[in-house]
């Protein structure tokens, strides 16, 4: 089976989800290709889209949040004569030659705009293969209401109503969860994970704020370090070199292990008793798959605000802000076993460690049925 994945590089979550899917499909003998839609048209445009997203979310997050909120208010497909509609048709036309020559048996989109382009490619007869859209946050991104795909993978069945409000039929919804890499679907014993990392076998707090190292982490680490409870800290700084230099140079009361980009996040999650993080869709789905209670901080206005609401309202996370400090959250978790129990119970219902495998099984069955019918 030939699988084509379409994505947009706005942050790293959409591409990471696509790569998790590719790894699983290729391991099972299928051919996969991934296209960043804008990068395929022009590397300069692709870089501009990604850089603009990162700059907006880091330096003018409130403006980004307002723009996101305005788009999210739409419940009807966009006007075919609007600027965004004409742009989408131009982009899809540029993609049509590649898609036609590759001739996929299945197309998967890991970004709502990819879903728009896939819909146009189907509508214009470029391809007729089954199409699947992946909703990569615990909310419904703007533009999904403007797509006409065969199926939509959603993070949880609780998003069914929101998808239906966007005009997407319930029978098209697949509550498999956000696909994650296989290492996040497996669980390692805490003591073994700590041994693998070369740290002590004591309570462990994992702090990570996304691949770009977002968030006001310095004062948070200072506050965490002052907690009277005994634990060690794993801190992932991503590409934030200045933050890593600060953490490495500072004197801490507790043992603090600092990392930049690392491929051991799955082991760190197994070693941790709790994770303190921003509510990005991919990170939270990985943590949920590992069954870790979350303390959430510094959401990017827009989709991460909505992720935060979902996680807190379902009991899977605690939010820290100006009214409830991180020290208070840690004290609650380390002194209230019932609170940890409630969170772990909630996480067990929301976590979908088999999301990638479930998507694979479903996709292979549908593609095979379509091929047999031809």
Write out pLDDT tens, residues 108-118: 999 999 999 99
Pair 270, 191: CB distance under 8 Å:
no
Tell me: do 237 and 144 sit in the same domain. Answer: no
Give the other-Cβ count within 10 Å of 321's Cβ: 12
Tell me: do 172 and 282 sit in the same domain. Answer: no
The conformational region for residue 167 under phi > 0 = left, psi -120 to 50 = alpha, else beta, is left
Pair 139, 159: CB distance under 8 Å:
yes
Q: What pLDDT digit, counting tens, does each position of 204-239 carry?
A: 999 997 555 455 678 889 999 999 999 999 999 887
Distance between terminal CA atoms of the chain?
15
Residue 25 belongs to domain spanning? 2-182+354-373
For residue 102, pLDDT beyond 80: yes
Tell me: do 193 and 318 sit in the same domain. Answer: yes
Tell me: do 141 and 36 sit in the same domain. Answer: yes
Tell me: do 264 and 330 sit in the same domain. Answer: yes
Tell me: do 140 and 289 sit in the same domain. Answer: no
Tell me: do 222 and 332 sit in the same domain. Answer: yes
Which CATH number fits the domain that encloses residue 141? Answer: 3.40.50.2000
Tell me: do 28 and 43 sit in the same domain. Answer: yes
CA distance 81 to 68: 21
Tell me: do 11 and 127 sit in the same domain. Answer: yes
Tell me: do 204 and 246 sit in the same domain. Answer: yes
Tell me: do 201 and 143 sit in the same domain. Answer: no
Residue 256: in which H helix or E strand, if any? Answer: strand 256-259
Q: Which of 132, 127, 123, 134 is nearest to 102 (CA)?
A: 127
Tell me: do 30 and 144 sit in the same domain. Answer: yes
Domain count, the chain: 2
**HSE of 362, CA atoms in CB hemisphere, 13 A:** 20
pLDDT of residue 38: 84
Q: What pLDDT digit, counting tens, does each position of 330-358 carry?
A: 999 999 999 999 999 999 999 999 999 99
For residue 125, pLDDT beyond 70: yes
Burial (0-12, 13-18, 19+ Cβ within 10 Å), 62: exposed
For residue 58, pLDDT beyond 80: no
**Higher local confidence (pLDDT), 64 or 346:** 346
């Amino acid at each position: 089976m030939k699988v084509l994945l379409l994505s947009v590089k706005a942050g790293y979550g959409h591409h990471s989800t696509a790569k998790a899917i590719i790894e699983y499909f290729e391991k099972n003998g299928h051919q996969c290709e991934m296209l960043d839609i804008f990068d395929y048209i022009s590397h300069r445009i692709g870089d501009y889209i990604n850089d603009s997203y990162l700059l907006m979310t880091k330096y003018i997050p409130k403006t980004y949040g307002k723009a996101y909120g305005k788009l999210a208010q739409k419940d009807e497909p966009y006007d075919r004569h609007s600027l965004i509609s004409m742009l989408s048709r131009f982009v899809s036309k540029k993609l049509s030659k590649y898609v036609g020559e590759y001739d996929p048996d299945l197309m998967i989109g890991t970004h709502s705009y990819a879903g728009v382009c896939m819909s146009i490619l189907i509508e214009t007869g470029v391809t007729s293969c089954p199409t699947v859209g992946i909703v990569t946050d615990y909310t419904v991104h703007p533009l999904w209401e403007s797509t006409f795909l065969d199926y939509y993978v959603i993070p949880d069945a609780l998003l069914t109503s929101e998808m239906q409000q966007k005009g997407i039929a319930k029978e098209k919804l697949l509550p498999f969860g956000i696909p994650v890499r296989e290492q996040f679907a497996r669980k390692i014993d805490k003591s073994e994970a700590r041994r693998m990392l070369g740290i002590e076998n004591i309570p462990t707090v994992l702090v990570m704020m996304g691949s770009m190292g977002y968030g006001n982490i310095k004062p948070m680490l200072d506050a965490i370090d002052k907690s009277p409870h005994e634990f060690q800290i794993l801190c992932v700084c991503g590409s934030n070199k200045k933050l890593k230099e600060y953490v490495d140079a500072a004197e801490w009361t507790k043992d603090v292990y600092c990392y930049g980009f690392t491929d051991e996040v799955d082991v760190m999650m197994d070693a941790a008793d709790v994770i303190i993080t921003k509510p990005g869709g991919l990170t939270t789905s990985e943590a949920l798959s590992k069954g870790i209670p979350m303390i959430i901080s510094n959401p990017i206005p827009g989709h991460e605000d909505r992720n935060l609401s979902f996680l807190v309202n379902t009991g899977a996370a605690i939010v820290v802000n100006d009214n409830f400090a991180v020290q208070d959250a840690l004290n609650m978790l380390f002194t209230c076993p019932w609170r940890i129990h409630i969170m772990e119970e909630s996480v067990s219902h929301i976590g979908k460690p088999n999301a990638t495998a479930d998507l694979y099984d479903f996709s292979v069955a549908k593609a095979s049925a379509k091929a047999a019918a031809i």
